[in-house]
Structure 1
């Protein structure tokens, strides 16, 4: 049981880091280098908070905040929704990781086996929530990029779909999908650890309880009071 939880804690750290990567990276969408036979010279990336562009032969991306476009425009294209889902996923993933550590036998945050089992169950629930939310955010974004953002033009303080940049899926989408799969797998592992803890407690109780003393049984008190004629 302890080994199962340790594996779950270790694996739970990976999708949590991936979720934070999805939150801060600008690589949710990247431009297609060859757009209908036209070779583009600049590399572009669009994330939840920034729009970045790297001119040809330049060393680094030059980024600008998406706050210039306004909440209404960002909400129209789903970016605000992506933000909310990913932020909650990061919070749930962090909470799941902390609860998983609390369920470990190597720390004394939860003092009893029952409390450790509850912590493992809480970790399983929070990891499940984190996985579902990051999956929803990245899948929603992928659908928008493929179907709606085919030619999304950004500039001049406005976002518009016109004859502009051809976008495709960025690294954050794939990182989010990987995080979702690991989150759900870790949730199953922690749930198994929670159930195993409950079974161990029941077995320990049965082994400790040996029944009434033998003298009590032999004396006849356990069979009711005897009548003498």
Structure 2
């Protein structure tokens, strides 16, 4: 169980860091530089909190907070929903990491073995929930970005009309997917560790039949070389 706790703590911390990066990163969507043969002069990208544009020969960018657009407009594009899911994932991931550390034998946050097992089970549930939430946020955002890309491609017979900036998936989406996978794997590791510990406890409570027989003989002062007659 100790090895499972160490693995879960290390990978759970990595997954939580990835989730936090996804939440604060401005690279949820990135503009396409070469669209339909036209080169964009500026690079644009946006995340859950800000929108940036720039990338001239000096490499300077100007960023604006998305709060200026208002909650209603942000909710229309799903950004409010992305924020809620990403923030909850970071919270549950952090709580899962703390619970995982509490279930470890190297610390004394949980006094009894039963409390450590409960902490490990709670950590598994929190990690699983964090993984589902960050997966939902990034997949929902990716679906919106891809649909917007398709809507901006109009016309037929090799002709298309450029209806504005076209977007593709940014690095934060992929980091969020990696975080979700690691969260779910860590949760599975903790569940397997709990089941193995339960099996070990059962073996301690129910000894092997041969061991029980030897204990019976020892307690009854039985001796194979001595016969007693009445």
TM-score, scaled relative to structure 1: 0.83
Quick one: distance in 1 between partners of 2:85 and 2:125? Answer: 16
Gaps of 5+ in 1: 153-161, 219-229
RMSD: 2.3
Quick one: distance in 2 between partners of 1:26 and 1:109? Answer: 37
Quick one: distance in 2 between partners of 1:105 and 1:185? Answer: 21
Quick one: distance in 2 between partners of 1:102 and 1:194? Answer: 14
After superposition, where does 1:19-168 map in structure 2 within 5 Å?
Answer: 19-148=19-148, 163-168=163-168
* Mean CA deviation greater in 171-180 or 51-60: 51-60
Report deviation, 1:8.
Answer: 1.2
Q: Is the 8 A contact 2:148 2:167 kept in 1?
A: no
Report deviation, 1:198.
Answer: 2.2
The structure-2 alpha-carbon separation of the partners of 1:15 and 1:214, relative to structure 1 and needing over 3 Å to count, comes to closer
Runs (4+) of structure 1 exceeding 3 A deviation are: 149-152
Gaps of 5+ in 2: 153-161, 221-230
Quick one: distance in 1 between partners of 2:149 and 2:46? Answer: 11
Quick one: distance in 1 between partners of 2:126 and 2:16? Answer: 11
* Mean CA deviation greater in 67-76 or 191-200: 191-200
Quick one: distance in 2 between partners of 1:180 and 1:66? Answer: 26
After superposition, where does 1:7-26 map in structure 2 within 5 Å?
Answer: 7-26=7-26
Quick one: distance in 2 between partners of 1:83 and 1:8? Answer: 26
Per-residue CA distance 1:101-130 (angstroms, 9 max, x = gap): 011111010122211111111111001000
In the other structure, the counterpart of 1:156 is none
Quick one: distance in 2 between partners of 1:142 and 1:97? Answer: 27
Quick one: distance in 2 between partners of 1:102 and 1:61? Answer: 44
TM-score, scaled relative to structure 2: 0.83
Report deviation, 1:34.
Answer: 0.5
Aligned residues: 206
Quick one: distance in 1 between partners of 2:70 and 2:140? Answer: 21
